[in-house]
Amino acid sequence: MANHKLLLLPGDGIGPEVMAEVKRLIDWLNAQGIAHFETEQGLVGGSAYDAHGVGITDDTMERAKAADAVIFGAVGGPKWDSVPYEARPEAGLLRLRKDLGLFANLRPAVVYPALAGASSLKPELIEGLDIMIVRELTGGVYFGEPKTITDLGNGQKRAIDTQVYDTYEIERIARVAFDLARKRRNKLTSMEKRNVMKSGVLWNEVVTQVHAREYKDVTLEHQLADSGGMNLVKSPKQFDVIVTDNLFGDMLSDIAAMLTGSLGMLPSASLGEIDAKTKKRRSLFEPVHGSAPDIAGKGFANPIAMLASFGMALRYSFEMGALADRLDAAIAAVLAKGLRTADIKSEGATVASTSQMGEAILRELQALYA
C-alpha cells in the first residue's frame, strides 16, 4: 500500500483540539492497514510566532513542500493582535497558500439531514442543500501590490490594497470550477463586481471565454457578488458550483457555512496545479471555522469540519474516495443519532465534547468496516 506523508499543522486556538480527532482517525486507519499515513507535526500561526517570531518558519515551509498533503487546523487570536503585520499568525497561512501555489480553494456547503433545523434559515430553504464554492486563493486583493499605509503628513494616512488578476489566474480557477460542475449538477455561477471593478470585467470575460471554448455542455450564469450573496440566503438551492475571487470567496463561504447550521461544519481543500510529470498536486486541507479563541482549550469545539477536511484529503489527494464516502456517512449517522457539539445543539440533543464527537464518528466508521 502506498505510503502517504502528511504534515499536520494544528496552529492556534481550537486547532490542536480538533486536530487531535484527526490523529485518532489516522492512528486507527494505520492500525487497521486501511491506509498508511506517516505524520509529522509543525508550528504555524501564533504558536510559530511565540517560538520563532514568524507565522511560519522556512524549515516548516520546506517540510510542507516535501509532504504529500498538509492538514491545517486554524491560526490567530487576540493574543497576537499587536504583533508586526508581517509576522501575524495569518501570514503563516497566506505564505503556505502562496508558496505552495494553492490557487483553488474548494469549500463545500452540505446540509446534513439531521441538521436542517440548526440553520438560521427555514428548513425548507436548505434541506438537501449541496453547493460547492470555488474560491481563487493565491491572487486578488490578498496578495496584490502595492499594499501599503502611507503617512500623508497632514494628519491623514492613506491605505492601499490592490486587486489584481491576470487572464491565466482566472482561466485556471474557472477550469477547476467547470470540471467540478461536470461531476455534479452541471451548473456554474460566476460571481464578481463587473459593474464597478475592472478585475470584475476581466473575470467575467475570461470565464465566458473558457466556457465557450471548453465547457459548452455546462450551464454558466453570472451574478454580481452582492446580489449573489443575497441569493445565497434567499434561495441557496439555485446554486451548484460558485466560482469567485479570493475576497468575495472568503465572505461568501462564511455565509454558505452558516446555511449548514454552523461554521463548525464546513471543510475545505486548497489545491495547486497538477504536475505534468508526477500527476500529483500540492494540497492543504483546513476547516473554514478559524481558531475560535473564545472557546479554545475548553474541549467543546466541533471537530466535524476538521474531520471532513481530512476526508477531502482522502478524496482529492489520495484517491480514497470510498473511504471518504464512509467517513461522511459516519458523520451523518452520528448526527442522525442526535449527538451534537455545543455550536449545533438543539432541544433534546445530547451535547458532546470534542473528543466524544470524534470518538463517536470513529465508532460509526469502525461499524462500517466491521
Amino acid at 75: V
Of 241-270, which residues contact ligand IPM (CB under 6 A)? 250
Total interface residues for Mn ion by CB under 5 A: 1
Query: Which residue, 290 or 358, is less far from Mn ion as judged by CB?
Result: 290
Of residues 12, 68, 250, 343, which has the active-site annotation?
A: 250
Contact between 127 and ligand IPM by CB under 6 A: the answer reads no
Neighbour tally for 92: CB within 10 Å? 28
**CA distances in angstroms from 342 to 264, 300, 345, listed in the order given:** 10, 7, 5
Query: Which residue, 102 or 181, is less far from ligand IPM as judged by CB?
Result: 102
Beta-ladder partners of 7: 40, 70
Q: For ligand IPM, what does the binding mask look like between residues 182 and 211, x meaning CB under 6 A?
A: ------------------------------
Which one, of 263, 262, 200, 199, lies nearest residue 228 by Cα? 200
Ranked by CB distance to ligand IPM, the top (closest) residue is 90
Total interface residues for ligand IPM by CB under 6 A: 6
- Give the integer Cα–Cα distance in Å for 216 and 179: 12
Contact between 40 and ligand IPM by CB under 6 A: the answer reads no
Q: Using CB distances below 5 to 8 A depending on partner kind, what does residue 90 bind out of Mn ion, ligand IPM, none?
A: ligand IPM
Query: Which residue, 135 or 340, is less far from ligand IPM as judged by CB?
Result: 135
Of residues 27, 58, 59, 226, which has the active-site annotation?
A: 226
**CA distances in angstroms from 241 to 92, 106, 219, 286, 348, listed in the order given:** 29, 10, 10, 19, 35
Least Å from the CB of residue 105 to ligand IPM: 8
Least Å from the CB of residue 52 to Mn ion: 25
**Contact window for Mn ion (CB under 5 A) among 195-203, 211-219, 244-252, 344-352:** 244-252
Q: Which of 250, 328, 343, 364 binds Mn ion (CB under 5 A)?
A: 250
Neighbour tally for 127: CB within 10 Å? 14
- Give the integer Cα–Cα distance in Å for 178 and 242: 10
CB 309, CB 19: distance < 8 Å: no
**Three cell numbers written together for 196:** 464597478
Q: Name the residues annotated as catalytic.
A: 142, 193, 226, 250, 254
